[in-house]
A and B are shown apart, each in its own frame.
Chain A
Amino acid sequence: MHPALSVILFTTASGAGYGVLFWLGLLAPLGLLPVAAGFGVTASLLGLALVTVGLMSSMLHLGHPERAWRGVSQWRTSWLSREAVAALIAYVPAVLFPLLWLLGGTAGPLGFVAAAMAAVTVVCTGMIYASLKPIRQWHNPYVLPIYLLAALFSGGACLAGVATFWHAGPLLADASVVAAALTLAAKLAYWRSIDRGAGDRGTGDRGTGDAGAGRRGAGARTPADATGLGKLGTVRSLDPPNTEENYLLREMGYRIARKHAARLRVIAVLLGFIAPIVLLAFIPPIAAIAALLGLLVERWLFFAEATHTITLYYGRTA
Chain B
Amino acid sequence: MTAIPPPGGKKLGLVIDLDTCVGCHACAVNCKEWNTSGHSAPLPDFDAYQANPQGVWFNRVHSYEAGEGADSRTVYFPRSCLHCEEPACVTVCPTGASYKRAEDGIVLVNPDTCIGCKLCSWACPYGAREFDEDAGVMKKCTLCIDRIYNTNIPEEDRVPACVSTCPAQARHFGDLGDPASAVSRLVAERGGYDLMPELGYKPVNKYLPPRERPRHREPAEPAIESVANPFLRWIDRALSR
Contacts and interface: CB of A to CB of B under 8 A. Distances in A.
A239 B121 contact: no
A76 B92 CA distance: 10
A79 interface: yes
B105 to A, nearest CB: 17
Contacts of B176: none
Given A62-B115, A70-B96, A238 B91 contact: no
A70 B125 contact: no
Interface residues of A, number: 60
Interface in B54-89: 54-57, 60-68, 71-75, 77, 79, 88
A184 interface: no
A231 interface: yes
A64 B66 CA distance: 43
Interface string A52-93: 000000000111110110111110111111001000000000
B62 A134 contact: no
Contact of B88 (A63, A133, A248, A252): A133
A64 B79 contact: no
A138 B90 CA distance: 19
B65 A132 contact: no
Given A70-B95, A131-B92, A133-B200, A310 B64 contact: no
A221 to B, nearest CB: 11
A64 B2 contact: no
A233 interface: yes
A291 interface: no
A234 B68 contact: yes
Contacts of A314: 62
Contacts of A245: 52, 54
Contact of B117 (A77, A80, A234): A80
Given A64-B116, A228-B193, A70 B88 contact: no
A114 interface: no
Interface string B107-137: 0000001111111011111110011010111
A231 B71 CA distance: 12
A301 B175 CA distance: 44
Given A84-B94, A228-B193, A246-B54, A239 B63 contact: yes
27 contacts: A63-B137, A67-B113, A68-B115, A70-B94, A70-B115, A74-B1, A74-B93, A74-B96, A84-B94, A132-B92, A133-B200, A134-B124, A227-B62, A229-B66, A229-B210, A232-B210, A234-B67, A235-B64, A235-B65, A235-B66, A235-B75, A241-B61, A251-B121, A309-B199, A310-B126, A313-B127, A315-B64
Name the 7 nearest CB pairs between A and B, nearest first: A63-B116, A63-B136, A310-B127, A241-B60, A233-B67, A134-B125, A232-B66
